[in-house]
A and B are shown apart, each in its own frame.
Chain A
Amino acid sequence: MPTINDPAVIAEIAALHDAYESALAANDVATLTRYFWDSPEVIRYGVVEHLYGAEQIKAYRVANAVVITDRKLLKRTIVTFGPDLASVMCEFSQVARGRTGHSRQSQTWVRLPEAGWRIVSAHVSLALPPPESEWGAYADRAAAAIALPLAVPHRPGTVQNLERAAAIAAPLLAHALPVGTEPASVFTA
Chain B
Amino acid sequence: MSLDPVTASALEIAAAVHSRQITARAVTEKLLAHIATTHGRINAFTTVTNDRALAEADAVDATLAAGRDPGPLAGAPYAVKNLFDLAGVVTVAGSKINRDDPPAARDATAVARLHAAGAVCLGALNMGEYAYDFTNENCHYGAVHNPRDLIRSAGGSSGGSGAAVAAGLVPLALGTDTNGSIRVPSSFCGIWGLKPTYGRLSRAGSFPFVDSLDHIGPFARSVGDLTAAYDIMQGPDPLDAACAQRPIEPALPGLNTGLAGLRIAILGGYFEQGGEPSVHAAVSTLAAALGVTRRIELPVPSLARAAAYLITAAESGQFHLGRLRTRAADFEPPIRDRLLAGALTPSAWYLQAQRFRHWWQGQVREIFRDVDVLLAPATPLPAPVLGQDTFLFNGKEVPLRPSIGLFTQPITFIGLPVVAAPVHTVGPMPVAVQLIGAPWNEAALLRVARVLEETGVCTAPVAHLAA
Q: What residues make up the interface of A, taking CB atoms closer than 8 Å to B?
A: 138-139, 142-143, 146-151, 154, 157-162, 164-165, 168-169, 171-173, 175, 177-178, 181-186
Contacts and interface: CB of A to CB of B under 8 A. Distances in A.
Nearest to A143: B344
Contacts of B321: 146, 148
B310 A177 contact: no
B354 A169 contact: no
B338 A161 contact: yes
> Considering residues B307, B334, B355, B359, which has the most beta carbons from chain A within 10 angstroms of its beta carbon?
B355
Contacts of A168: 306, 309-310
A150 B358 CA distance: 34
A173 B307 CA distance: 10
Contacts of A146: 321, 343-344
B328 A149 contact: yes
A177 B356 contact: yes
A184 B361 contact: yes
A32 to B, nearest CB: 37
Interface stretch (B7-15, B71-79, B152-160, B345-353): B345-353
B334 A184 contact: no
A184 B358 contact: yes
A184 B353 CA distance: 9
B88 interface: no
Given A158-B344, A184-B212, A185-B354, A171 B328 contact: no
A158 B337 contact: yes
Contacts, number: 104
Given A148-B340, A157-B333, A172-B303, A183 B351 contact: yes
B161 to A, nearest CB: 27
Given A151-B329, A175-B300, A165 B345 contact: yes
B309 A165 contact: yes
18 contacts: A139-B341, A139-B344, A151-B328, A154-B336, A157-B340, A159-B341, A160-B337, A160-B341, A161-B341, A165-B342, A168-B309, A169-B310, A172-B352, A172-B356, A177-B352, A183-B357, A184-B212, A185-B212
A171 B303 CA distance: 7
Interface string B310-334: 1001000000010011001100011
A173 B303 CA distance: 10
Nearest to B331: A154
B309 A181 contact: no
A151 B333 CA distance: 12
B46 interface: no
Nearest to B314: A165
Contacts of A143: 340, 343-344
Nearest to A158: B340
B302 interface: yes
B307 A142 contact: no
Interface in B351-387: 351-359, 361
Given A150-B340, A154-B336, A182-B358, 10 more contacts: A138-B344, A146-B344, A148-B343, A157-B340, A158-B340, A160-B341, A162-B344, A165-B341, A173-B348, A183-B357
